[in-house]
Amino acid sequence: MMAMTVAAQPQPMFASPWSDSCLLVASTLELPDYFCPCRESSQPFTFPLEIEVTDTVWYTATMNDLRQGVSAYWFADCSITMEAFAFCTSKAPTFDLTVGPNQMRDIDMAKINEKLSQLNEQEKVMAETMTPHLRVYPNKKGGSGKVYCYPYDQGPESKCEDPLPLRTGMTYVCDKPENVYRMEWSSIPSQGKAFVHWLQKKNQACEVWLTLDSCSGEEIGRATLSDSLHVFLPDSAQLADARKGKHSIWLHVKHKQGIVGRIHWYSNPKYNEPLPAVKQKVCLGKTLKSDMRTYESDTTFTDTIWVTKDSLTTREISFTFTQPKMEYDTVYASQTELARGFLYKPSGTVFHTYQDSVVEIKKANTCTRRIHVTVLSTQGMDYVGSSTPKSCKYIRNGQLFILVDDRKYNVFGQEQR
């Protein structure tokens, strides 16, 4: 009866690329119109995936592939959509991801697992043994471009020999210790106004710099980005000159092995209203913090802070660290003590000669002490009396002691060792 039903239907003018049995099943069970392409044209999917896309492409994936998450790059003038179907018979995708022109989008493992958890129990059991399917297609007739698909928190390596194009607003996952990206002169903003933003979950640092015309060309700017609030602002005049001279620029990103971050280039940034100014004074030795950075010395400047995407703001910073007042101390040491090194305990300084010296006592987040220390010979002490045995007084580390022959006593008459 099924065969008769199909035979009775008007035959298409051109032969279908799908098998008669597939068309029969799809028609009889009223399956989605993508059932046959999904079933019969799916190609094996493996990470990483790098392909040219001009039309709808189907892939057969595995649950392990999906659970890794995905980072998808799309270099084109239109958007692209990726859809994951648990089965070719599924009425709707389990999840989808649309990437704008010259953009990157990603889905982490948590989101993937959340979507998979929404399957009913029967689907979950089947999904563990069956292979899901991916559909990739440009969202414009005739649209085309190159797509890169990597597991979440991974991206294509971009080297001097084959750099990825640097697009404004695009996210680049930097999981390799060093990557290089190239921007055509025509993409450089005419006024040269742009910034580079580094996004890293634990605020681990990276170094960025720009070269002109080639990977090893003239360097035109460098910065260390220690957190995700601060940005690198290249010299706008140099960028404008590069555009006028039709010179490409190359962005270098370098960080320690094992760090994963995301780099962005934004042209013509927007500026929000300035944040409240910060003006503080504290003693030298302590630290002051503002917007994820720590300061230990006098500084006055305008800080530039990232807000979101291509938006920045500023804050006036003025920190003053007051110098410590000079303290004075006189200590006495014998020739024997100096010969083996006389320790001045407050600062840990060791003296080997009679002298005047200024020492500093520094402790973490504590006001610095500055002491003028005079080291004198015990032979110059004032004698308490002329009777035998001879006794004299002297001061060490700010304390008064009485020396009687070879014995030392404090002011209470207690012998000191």
Q: Note the Cα 55 to chain centre separation in Å.
A: 36
Does the fold of domain 164-268 match that of domain 17-150? Answer: yes
* pTM of the predicted model as reported, rounded to 2 decimal places: 0.79
pLDDT digits (tens, 9 = 90+) for 57-84: 999 988 888 889 999 999 998 999 999 9
The domain spans of the chain are 17-150, 164-268, 271-322, 326-416
Bridge partners for 312 per DSSP? 271, 306
Of 120-124, 211-215, 329-333, 385-389, the one with minimum mean pLDDT is 385-389
State the Cα–Cα distance between residues 204 and 165, nearest whole angstrom. 25
Answer whether residue 387 shows pLDDT above 60. no
User: Where is average pLDDT lowest: 46-50, 145-149, 156-160, 398-402?
Assistant: 398-402
CATH of region 17-150 = 2.60.120
CA 392 to CA 404: how far, in whole Å? 7
Contact assessment for residue 374 and residue 360, using Cβ atoms and an 8 Å cutoff: no
Residue 268 CA, chain-centre distance (Å), reads 22
Q: What are the backbone dihedrals phi and psi of residue 18, each rounded to the nearest 5 degrees, phi first? A: -100, 150
Alpha-carbon gap, residue 84 to 134, rounded angstroms: 5
Letter string b/e over residues 348-378, b meaning 16 or more CB atoms within 10 A of that residue's CB: ebebeeeeeeebebeeeeeebbbbebebbee
The strand pairing partners of 148, in sequence order, are 50, 73
Percent pLDDT > 90 in the chain is 73
Question: Which region among 58-67, 182-191, 219-228, 275-284 has the lowest average model confidence (pLDDT)?
Answer: 58-67
Among 226, 223, 224, residue whose Cα is nearest residue 203: 226
Q: Between the ranges 118-122, 146-150, 409-413, where is the mean pLDDT highest?
A: 146-150
Q: How confident is the model at residue 144 (pLDDT cuts 50, 70, 90)?
A: very high
Mean pLDDT for all residues in the chain: 88
- The pLDDT, as a whole number, for residue 408 is 67
Contact 331, 380 (CB under 8 A): no
Mind listing the pLDDT tens digit for each residue in 115-131? 777 767 766 666 666 68
Q: What does the pLDDT average to over 301-306?
A: 97
Find out if CATH 2.60.120.260 is the number for domain 164-268. Answer: yes
Indicate whether 159 pLDDT > 60: yes
Locate the DSSP E strands across 269-389.
Answer: 270-271, 278-283, 288-290, 293-295, 299-308, 311-322, 326-333, 342-344, 349-351, 356-361, 369-377, 382-385
139 secondary structure, DSSP code: S
The confidence band for 174, taking pLDDT boundaries of 50, 70 and 90, is very high
At residue 172, the pLDDT reads: 97
pLDDT at position 383: 44
Query: Does 15 have pLDDT greater than 90?
Result: no
- Furthest-apart CA atoms within the chain: distance in Å: 138
Distances, alpha carbon 81 to alpha carbons 53, 90, 101, 131, in Å: 11, 17, 11, 20
